[in-house]
C-alpha cells in the first residue's frame, strides 16, 4: 500500500502544500497562486486541496502531515529574545504575544481543525525543525547520493544558517548559527534601508547592485563600514551582528534608521522614490559582502563534510548572483539548489523529512535520464483545451485553435521576432518563485526596446529591473559563460564575450537609465548593466513544448534564447488558471496570449470592462 505524506508551510509568508507518494513528489503549489494574494501566509487550504486532488487521496489516506517548523521552539526563541533585550521591545512583545497565546502555541489543534475541513481522518502530525525542512528540500530531490548541505535564511526557530551533510537517507548537521546573527536578516535590513519591502524586495536589491560602481571609493567605504561596525565576520563564515544597529529582534522595523544614517551618511530611501547612486552603491556593497560570506560558508562546508557536491536551500539560496560566483569559484564540483528555496519549499522539505527521517525510507534511485527528482519544478495544476475555450466563451473572446503544435510554435516564433510580447501558458504550473516556461511572458532578447516595454507597459514595475533569458540547454555555452545546466533560473553568469559590445566612454558616470538603455550585447533585453544574465536552461525532457518553441525560434530566426519573465504584473502572484492568464493579458499591453493550443490576438478581443482600477487589488511588492 502506498504511503502518502502531506507537507505544509504556513503562518509566516509564502504558505504552500506538497504531497509525496512513496517519497516521490506528486504535486506542490503556493497558496498565493490560488488566492491571488501575494506571499499569502494563511493556512494553505486551496493548495492542500489541489495536491490531495492531484494525488487522488483524502485525509484518511495520509500516513502523516508534516509542518515545516517547531512552534514551541520558535516561541522559546521569542521569549528568550524579549527577556534578553528587556525593557526594549515592549511594543513588539505586546503585539506578538496575543497571537501566540491564542493560536500559535496550539498549532497542532489549529492544524487539526483546518485538516478536518478535508474530511474524515486523523493522520499523525509531525513538526520537523525549520532548517531540517530546508535541508531535506535541498538534499533529497538532488541528483547526489552524498552532498554537503548549506541552508541560509532569516531565521527558523533558532537557526539562521546550518552546515550539514547528506548521505543516502540520512542528514547530519555539523554546524549551526543562531538568531539574532543572520545573513538573511542582514540582507533584509539593507533591503529595508534601500526602500524595498522586506521578505519581498530582496531580489530587487540584488538587481539594483550591478548599478553600483564596483571598486569605487564609496562602495569600498560602505563595505568597510559594514565589516567594521555591523558585522564581525569570522574566517569560517560565521558572524556576529552588532545589535545596537538592528531593531528586528524586538522592534517593528529592521534597523535603527538614525544610527544607520550617521554610519553611512545616507538617509533611508523612501519607498517608490528616485534611486540615488549612493543607494545603488550601498546595494552593491551588501551584495559583495553577502557573496563573501556565502563563499566562506561553502569552503567551511567542503572542509567539514569532505563532499565534492553541495546542495542549498533557504531564502538566501535564491541569491543567484552569489550562487553563480560560488559555482565558478570551484569550491565544489557541482552545486544544486532547491527551486523553491524559500519558506514555500519548506512544505516539500517537511514531507521529505517525514518520509526519510521519521519513516526511515531509503531514497529511490534517480529516474533514468532525469537531472534530479523535481520534475523540472512543474508540480502545480494543469488545464485542458476545454478550460481555455471555456474562458474564451465566457468573455466572447475570439481565439485561433491549433491542432498542430508545430504550426503554433512557428506562429509564435514569428510574432516574437516581430517585436510582439506573448503570454505563454502551458502544462503544469511551476513550484517556486520563478516562471520557467509554464506561466511566462516572452519576448525577443535581440530587441533593444524589449526590456523597457516589458517593465513599463506589461509588468508595470520599476524600470531598472533586469529580465532573464531562457536558452536551449544545448546552446547555453554559445551564449553565456556557463558550462552546465541551470534549469531553475538560480545561477547568474556573464553573457559570452563574443556577443558583447564595447561600452561607450564615460559609461559608469552616466545616470542609471542612460546606462541601462545602452546596447551592451547582441542580446540587449537580457544583458544586465554588468554583462550578467540570470539563466534558465530549457530541456526537452522536462518541458518539451517550451523547448520546441525556442527551437523553432532558433531555426526560423537564428536565436536559441527568448526573454522570460513571470506571467503577472507587479504585486500580483504568478497566474495559475486560464482565467488568471486572460485577465492579466487584457489588463496589460501584452500583444498575444497562448493558452495550450489557443492563440488570442489582443487586437481582436472585445473591450475588457472592470469596475474600478484593477491596480487597487494588489499591494506594491
Residue identified by cell 546595494 is 283
Q: List, for residues 508-537, the tens digit of each pLDDT value.
A: 999 999 999 999 999 999 999 999 999 999
Cα gap 275→464, rounded to integer Å = 10
> Is the distance from CB of 380 to CB of 576 less than 8 angstroms?
yes
Give the pLDDT confidence score for residue 245 in this predicted structure. 96
- What residue ranges define each of the domains in the chain, with the CATH number in brackets? 4-131+343-373 (3.30.420.40), 183-335 (3.30.420.40), 385-617 (3.90.870.20)
Cα gap 227→236, rounded to integer Å = 15
Binned at pLDDT 50, 70 and 90, residue 72 comes out as: confident
Cα gap 10→574, rounded to integer Å = 19
Strand pairing report for 334-337 and 309-313: parallel
Give the pLDDT confidence score for residue 156 in this predicted structure. 92
Give the pLDDT confidence score for residue 257 in this predicted structure. 84
- Give the Cβ contact number of residue 93 at 10 Å: 18
- Helix or strand holding residue 177 (H, E): strand 170-178
Binned at pLDDT 50, 70 and 90, residue 96 comes out as: low
Give the pLDDT confidence score for residue 102 in this predicted structure. 61
Respond yes or no: is residue 355 known to be catalytic.
no
Q: List, for residues 170-208, the tens digit of each pLDDT value.
A: 999 999 999 999 999 999 999 999 999 999 999 999 999
Give the pLDDT confidence score for residue 283 in this predicted structure. 98
- Active-site choice (13, 30, 130, 355): 13
At residue 581, φ and ψ (nearest 5 deg) are -65, -45
DSSP states of 319-353 as a string? Answer: -HHHHHHHHHHTSSSEEEE-TT-STTHHHHHHHHH
Indicate if the pLDDT at residue 150 is higher than 70. yes
Binned at pLDDT 50, 70 and 90, residue 432 comes out as: very high
Region of 506 please: left (phi>0), alpha (psi -120 to 50) or beta: left
Amino acid at each position: 500500500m502506498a504511503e502518502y505524506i502531506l507537507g505544509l508551510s504556513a503562518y509566516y509568508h509564502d504558505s504552500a502544500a506538497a504531497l509525496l507518494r512513496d517519497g516521490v513528489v506528486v504535486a506542490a503549489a503556493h497558496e498565493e497562486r490560488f488566492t491571488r494574494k501575494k506571499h499569502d501566509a494563511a493556512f494553505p487550504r486551496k493548495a492542500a486541496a489541489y495536491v490531495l486532488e492531484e494525488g487522488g487521496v483524502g485525509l484518511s489516506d495520509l500516513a502523516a502531515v508534516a509542518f515545516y517548523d517547531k512552534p514551541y521552539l520558535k516561541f522559546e526563541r521569542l521569549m528568550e529574545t524579549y527577556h534578553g533585550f528587556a525593557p526594549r521591545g515592549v511594543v513588539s512583545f505586546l503585539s506578538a504575544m496575543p497571537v501566540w497565546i491564542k493560536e500559535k502555541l496550539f498549532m497542532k489543534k489549529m492544524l487539526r481543525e483546518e485538516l478536518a475541513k478535508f474530511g474524515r481522518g486523523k493522520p499523525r502530525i509531525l513538526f520537523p525543525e525549520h532548517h531540517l525542512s530546508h535541508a531535506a528540500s535541498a538534499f533529497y530531490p538532488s541528483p547526489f547520493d552524498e552532498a554537503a548541505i548549506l541552508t541560509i535564511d532569516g531565521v527558523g526557530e533558532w537557526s539562521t544558517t546550518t552546515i550539514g551533510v547528506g548521505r543516502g537517507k540520512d542528514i547530519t548537521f555539523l554546524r549551526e548559527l543562531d538568531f539574532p546573527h543572520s545573513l538573511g536578516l542582514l540582507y533584509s535590513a539593507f533591503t529595508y534601508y534601500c526602500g524595498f519591502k522586506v521578505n519581498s524586495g530582496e531580489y530587487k536589491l540584488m538587481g539594483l547592485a550591478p548599478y553600483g560602481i564596483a571598486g569605487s571609493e564609496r562602495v569600498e567605504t560602505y563595505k568597510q563600514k559594514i565589516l567594521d561596525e555591523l558585522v564581525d565576520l569570522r574566517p569560517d563564515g560565521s558572524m556576529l551582528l552588532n545589535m545596537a544597529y538592528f531593531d528586528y529582534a524586538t522592534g517593528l522595523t529592521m534597523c535603527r534608521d538614525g544610527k544607520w544614517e550617521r554610519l553611512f551618511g545616507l538617509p533611508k530611501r523612501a519607498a517608490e522614490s528616485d534611486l540615488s547612486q549612493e543607494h545603488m552603491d550601498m546595494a552593491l556593497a551588501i551584495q559583495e559582502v553577502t557573496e563573501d560570506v556565502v563563499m566562506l560558508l561553502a569552503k567551511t562546508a567542503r572542509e567539514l563534510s569532505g563532499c565534492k557536491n553541495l546542495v542549498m536551500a533557504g531564502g538566501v539560496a535564491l541569491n543567484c548572483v552569489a550562487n553563480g560566483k560560488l559555482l565558478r569559484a570551484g569550491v565544489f564540483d557541482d552545486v544544486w539548489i532547491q527551486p523553491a528555496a524559500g519558506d514555500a519549499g519548506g512544505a516539500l522539505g517537511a514531507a521529505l523529512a517525514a518520509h526519510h527521517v521519521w519513516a526511515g525510507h531509503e531514497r529511490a534511485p534517480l529516474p533514468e535520464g532525469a537531472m534530479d527528482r523535481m520534475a523540472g519544478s512543474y508540480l502545480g495544476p494543469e488545464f485542458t483545451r476545454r478550460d481555455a475555450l471555456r474562458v474564451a466563451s465566457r468573455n466572447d473572446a475570439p481565439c485561433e485553435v491549433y491542432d498542430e503544435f508545430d504550426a503554433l510554435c512557428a506562429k509564435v516564433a514569428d510574432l516574437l521576432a516581430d517585436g510582439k510580447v506573448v503570454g505563454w501558458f502551458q502544462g503544469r504550473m511551476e513550484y517556486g518563485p520563478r516562471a520557467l516556461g509554464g506561466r511566462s511572458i516572452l519576448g525577443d532578447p535581440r530587441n533593444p526596446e524589449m526590456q523597457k516595454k516589458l517593465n513599463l507597459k506589461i509588468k508595470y514595475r520599476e524600470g531598472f529591473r533586469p529580465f532573464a533569458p531562457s536558452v536551449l540547454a544545448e546552446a547555453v555555452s554559445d551564449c553565456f559563460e556557463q558550462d552546465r545546466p541551470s534549469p531553475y533560473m538560480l545561477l547568474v553568469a556573464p553573457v559570452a564575450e563574443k556577443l558583447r559590445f564595447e561600452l561607450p566612454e564615460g559609461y559608469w558616470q552616466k545616470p542609471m537609465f542612460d546606462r541601462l538603455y545602452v546596447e551592451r550585447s547582441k542580446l540587449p533585453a537580457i544583458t544586465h548593466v554588468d554583462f550578467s544574465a540570470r539563466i534558465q536552461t530549457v530541456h526537452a525532457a522536462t518541458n518539451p513544448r517550451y523547448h520546441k518553441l525556442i527551437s523553432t525560434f532558433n531555426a526560423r530566426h537564428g536565436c536559441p534564447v527568448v526573454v522570460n519573465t513571470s506571467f503577472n504584473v507587479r504585486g500580483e502572484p504568478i497566474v495559475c488558471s486560464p482565467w488568471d492568464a486572460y485577465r492579466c493579458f487584457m489588463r496589460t499591453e501584452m500583444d498575444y496570449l497562448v493558452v495550450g493550443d489557443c492563440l488570442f490576438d489582443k487586437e481582436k478581443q472585445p473591450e475588457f470592462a472592470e469596475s474600478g482600477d484593477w491596480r487597487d487589488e494588489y499591494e506594491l511588492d
